[in-house]
Amino acid sequence: EGQLLESGGGLVQPGGSLRLSCAASGFTFDTYAMTWVRQAPGKGLEWVSTISGSGATTYYADSVKGRFTVSRDNSKNTLFLQLIGLRVEDTALYYCAKGGYSYDLWGQGTLVTVSS
């Protein structure tokens, strides 16, 4: 069981920044790796980033490496994704998901639109 609720999306100009949040409930947050997956409008799923349960280890897709930073606050059961240097091609629905391998719980997503 459990629930994930993303927030923080919005419309931003190219080069801009956003911070996405994902509030988790209903499971022991700090025992699970967490993942961000995005989906551009009308397109398929793209793995973006994963962070270990402790937050000590992170992984990124090449397409976002150096621009996105994943972090977590286990005291607040919250996952974050800091997005900087946003590009038009980063426009997507961003999902947070529970797990570091397969993902058995997903939020409903938060929409990031990058446009001038």
Partner 1 sequence: DIQMTQSPSTLSASVGDRVIITCRASQSISSWLAWYQQKPGKAPKLLIHKASGLESGVPSRFSGSGSGTEFSLTINSLQPDDFAIYYCQHYKSYPYTFGQGTKLEIK
Q: Which residues bind partner 1 (CB under 8 A)?
A: 37, 44-47, 50, 59, 61-62, 95, 101-104, 106-109
Query: In terms of Cα–Cα distance, which of 88, 80, 84 is closest to 4?
Result: 80
In this structure, the chain runs to a length of: 116
Say if residues 78 and 24 touch (Cβ distance below 8 Å).
yes
**Closest CB 97 distance from partner 1, rounded Å:** 8
Q: How far apart are CA 79 and CA 70, in angstroms?
A: 8
Which residue, 80 or 103, is less far from partner 1 as judged by CB?
103
Which residue, 41 or 116, is less far from partner 1 as judged by CB?
41
Which residue, 50 or 78, is less far from partner 1 as judged by CB?
50
**Closest CB 13 distance from partner 1, rounded Å:** 27
Q: How far apart are CA 54 and CA 56, in angstroms?
A: 5
**Closest CB 7 distance from partner 1, rounded Å:** 15
